[in-house]
């Protein structure tokens, strides 16, 4: 495939303008993250404790895991806003599959079924977008609504409180003193980076998002690449559900509401262009950590009870500022950091 | 036209089904009473139609609604006369929309990103200034805006009828309306043709914010409460209605007639399912299936003609 393409896409080619923008964004995010941690720790040293930073990682893990998949989908120029509803559905299904009062299936079967349903939902999204030619924002908006409806239908307003110990261990257990969700997040990040940067498939993801028509002429099956991205995102949403949902002892139907916005925000703040073609995993991971640290920082800055009410406002203002600064820097350097070209 | 026809047919089918299941549902009285429930959805759908036809999107409408409603509540609590508080609330909505407009038109950042950020920011601002507390106890004269009637027709519905007619005329009969289609069809070409793209975009987002502000005021009047969590998720419902009505998410195509039909279909379905089956989750599933189904059908039809 490389031979047909002639050269690697600009986003992957070292030193290309497409590669500079994400790298610059990652550096900026890392800088701000260190700054936030530094300033808050100076005010309240407890913030820098290993335990608090660990909590921060644990809270960000689902966003990071799903964010990796979302990055790949957005790289191809598509979007999936159904991940929050899918997370809710998978949580409900896990509860129903595992709970002794319901199906009471063995842990391994529950894990297998959850992964299968997640991947299946991703496949359905991918088919709607490629074969059905439904714009991805519409297809996944419909799925957002439908899956939430199915979840509420399954839960019927009740809670599932009897998750068996085998499932609970996925959320509460760990190895070498590190919770499972962090091991899983690290593995997902590693695999996603390798897929995006080191495999022919990754090249195709960038190529489809950069210029779908050109990719098609280069004999890349744009449909198959996009279906793959959606399926991987579905699978990763299931992975996130498996390690995050059992952290709580209760499964209720509201799990995952608004989660899609957090994940898309992390991807966008991380520097992946919403029209596809440029960006990467590293930015998404850093942005997810940064968004998570703002929440914790507010608590540690001792603004009192009222601080939590400002959390979303500060996050939103922060996103605008990040996008604005990046945009201005890009405009000065003359490298295409602009998200919307006039000739979109 | 084909798409509008299909949606109109679906709407008739739903009403026939309703007449068969619940004869009381289709009476004029019941319909008038239920119609106020559609106010926010319908009012927000009008500017959203313009914005999506012009190739943009506004995800912050629900948050702006909450921000305006909280502004109204806090000013009322502080003793401001209600007419002034309402005007301030609508102005805050317009200002919120103008900020979106500046980012989209002058800074030229993708509207999905801008309004995703302000979706969080405006909701957060509403939560922050109200500290999550609701304000209620508006005087009866004010509640008239949300629940009063003139000759038997609820006030919000009258407002809506006027708004729909203005929007329809502007979009189909004026230069500004023509610009909206031109920008959505090809922004670069529109710029080269001398269309004031930036000014139109700025105006559209400001208008959307203003409509959200008004929706926030009317919502507070109808429910007699102003709180930071109102309107959460309504932007997705509005976009669903607009797209269901045949507006292309890529811009350039769509009509106010289509949007009105889309809103009516969602409204009637929601009320019927709520009335007969009393199961909210069923409504979600039906709306989602109709949304994706209508686009799929449209694609099939256009493929056959091609």
Report d(CA B91, CA B75) in Å as an integer. Answer: 13
> pLDDT tens digits, residue range B225-244?
888 888 887 888 899 899 88
Tracing tokens 């239920």 back to the chain, one arrives at: B34
Residue B299: its chain A contacts at CB < 8 A?
A: 132-134
**Residue B304, pLDDT score:** 59
Residue A340: its chain B contacts at CB < 8 A?
A: 108-111
Closest by CA position to A206, among listed A122, A275, A287, A269: A275
Report d(CA B49, CA B259) in Å as an integer. Answer: 7
Mutual angle of helices B140-147 and B82-105, in 10-degree steps: 50
Of A134, A149, A339, the CB nearest to B285: A149
> Among A116-120, A260-264, A272-276, B261-265, where is mean pLDDT lowest?
A272-276
Confidence of residue A128 (pLDDT cuts 50, 70, 90): very high
Confidence of residue A6 (pLDDT cuts 50, 70, 90): very low
Question: What percentage of residues in chain A have a pLDDT greater than 70?
Answer: 87
Confidence of residue A332 (pLDDT cuts 50, 70, 90): low
pLDDT of A298 over the 80 cut: no
**Residue A41, pLDDT score:** 86
Beta bridge partners of A160: A251
Greater confidence, B221 or B25?
B221
H helix or E strand, kind and range, residue A97: helix A83-98
- Angle, alpha carbons B304-B305-B306 (nearest 5°): 95
Q: Which of A253, A273, A316, A322 to mutate to test the interface with B (most CBs of B within 10 A)?
A: A316
CB atoms within 10 A of CB B2: 12
The mean of the pLDDT values for chain A is: 83
Secondary structure E strands in B41-190: 135-136, 149-150, 153-154
Report d(CA A109, CA A107) in Å as an integer. Answer: 5
Report d(CA B296, CA A57) in Å as an integer. Answer: 41
H helix or E strand, kind and range, residue A174: strand A174-175
> pLDDT tens digits, residue range A194-218?
998 888 888 888 888 888 888 888 8
The verdict on a CB contact (< 8 Å) between B187 and A310 is no
**Residue A157, pLDDT score:** 78
Confidence of residue B201 (pLDDT cuts 50, 70, 90): very high
Q: Which domains does chain A have, with CATH numbers?
A: 2-333 (1.10.3470)
Tracing tokens 């701000």 back to the chain, one arrives at: A32
Report d(CA A105, CA A103) in Å as an integer. Answer: 6
Give the minimum alpha-carbon distance from B65 to chain A in angstroms, rounded to a whole number.
15
| CB of A70 closer than 8 Å to CB of A267 | yes
Beta bridge partners of B226: B135
Tell me if residue A156 falls in helix, strand or coil.
coil
B2-11+32-300 topology per CATH: ABC transporter involved in vitamin B12 uptake, BtuC (1.10.3470)
Of A274, A312, A343, the CB nearest to B120: A312
> Residue B304 to residues B4, B291, B298, B300: CA-CA distances in angstroms?
18, 20, 10, 6
Report domain extents, chain B.
Answer: 2-11+32-300
Task: Write down the ipTM of this complex.
Answer: 0.79
Distance of CA B39 to the CA centre of its chain: 8
pLDDT of B139 over the 50 cut: yes
**Residue A110, pLDDT score:** 92
Q: Which of A86, A129, A138 to mutate to test the interface with B (most CBs of B within 10 A)?
A: A138
């Amino acid at each position: 495939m490389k031979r047909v393409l002639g050269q690697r896409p600009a986003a992957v080619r070292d030193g290309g303008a497409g590669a500079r923008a994400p790298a610059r964004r990652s550096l900026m995010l890392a800088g701000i993250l260190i700054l936030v941690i530094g300033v808050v720790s100076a005010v309240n040293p407890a913030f820098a404790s290993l335990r608090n930073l660990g909590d921060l990682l644990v809270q960000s893990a689902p966003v990071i895991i799903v964010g990796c998949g979302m990055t790949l989908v957005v790289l191809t120029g598509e979007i999936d806003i159904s991940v929050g509803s899918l997370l809710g559905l998978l949580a409900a299904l896990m509860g129903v599959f595992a709970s002794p009062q319901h199906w009471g299936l063995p842990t391994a079967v529950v894990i297998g079924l959850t992964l299968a349903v997640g991947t299946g939902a991703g496949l359905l999204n991918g088919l709607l977008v490629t074969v059905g030619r439904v714009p991805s924002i519409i297809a996944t908006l419909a799925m957002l609504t439908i899956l939430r409806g199915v979840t509420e239908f399954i839960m019927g307003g009740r809670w599932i409180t009897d998750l068996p110990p085998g499932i609970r261990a996925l959320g509460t257990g760990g190895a070498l003193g590190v919770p499972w969700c962090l091991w899983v997040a690290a593995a997902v990040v590693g695999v996603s980076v390798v897929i995006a940067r080191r495999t022919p498939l990754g090249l195709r993801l960038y190529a489809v998002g950069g210029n779908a028509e050109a990719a098609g002429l280069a004999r890349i099956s744009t449909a198959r690449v996009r279906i793959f991205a959606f399926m991987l995102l579905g699978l990763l949403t299931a992975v996130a559900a498996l390690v995050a949902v059992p952290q709580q002892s209760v499964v209720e139907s509201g799990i995952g509401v608004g989660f899609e916005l957090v994940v898309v925000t992390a991807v966008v703040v991380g520097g992946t262009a919403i029209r596809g073609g440029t960006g990467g995993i590293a930015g998404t991971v850093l942005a997810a950590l940064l968004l998570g640290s703002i929440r914790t920082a507010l608590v540690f800055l001792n603004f009192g009870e009222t601080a939590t009410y400002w959390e979303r406002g500060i996050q939103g203002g922060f996103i605008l500022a990040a996008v604005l600064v990046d945009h201005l820097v890009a405009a000065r350097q003359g490298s295409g950091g602009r998200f919307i070209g006039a000739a979109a | 036209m084909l798409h509008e026809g299909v949606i109109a047919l679906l709407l008739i089918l739903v009403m026939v089904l309703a007449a068969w299941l619940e004869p009381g549902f289709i009476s004029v009285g019941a319909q008038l009473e239920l119609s106020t429930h559609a106010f926010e959805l319908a009012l927000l759908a009008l500017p959203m139609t313009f914005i999506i036809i012009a190739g943009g999107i506004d995800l912050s409408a629900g948050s702006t609604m909450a921000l305006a409603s909280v502004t109204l509540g806090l000013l009322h609590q502080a003793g401001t006369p209600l007419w002034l508080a309402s005007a301030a609330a609508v102005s805050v909505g317009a200002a919120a929309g103008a900020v979106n407009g500046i980012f989209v038109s002058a800074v030229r950042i993708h509207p999905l990103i801008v309004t995703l950020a302000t979706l969080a920011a405006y909701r957060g601002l509403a939560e922050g200034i109200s500290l999550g507390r609701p304000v209620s106890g508006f005087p009866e004269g004010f509640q008239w805006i949300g629940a009063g009637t003139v000759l038997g027709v609820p006030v919000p519905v009258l407002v809506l009828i006027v708004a729909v007619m203005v929007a329809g005329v502007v979009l189909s009969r004026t230069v500004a309306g023509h610009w909206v289609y031109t920008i959505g069809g090809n922004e670069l070409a529109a710029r080269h043709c001398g269309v004031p793209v930036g000014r139109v975009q700025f105006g559209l987002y400001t208008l959307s914010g203003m409509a959200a502000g008004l929706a926030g005021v009317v919502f507070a009047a109808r429910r007699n409460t102003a709180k930071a969590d109102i309107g959460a998720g309504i932007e997705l419902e509005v976009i669903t209605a607009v797209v269901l009505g045949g507006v292309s998410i890529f811009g350039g195509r769509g009509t106010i007639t289509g949007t009105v039909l889309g809103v009516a279909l969602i409204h009637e379905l929601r009320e019927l399912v709520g009335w007969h089956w009393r199961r909210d989750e069923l409504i979600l599933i039906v709306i989602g299936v109709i949304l994706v189904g209508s686009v799929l059908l449209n694609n099939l039809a256009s493929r056959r003609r091609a």
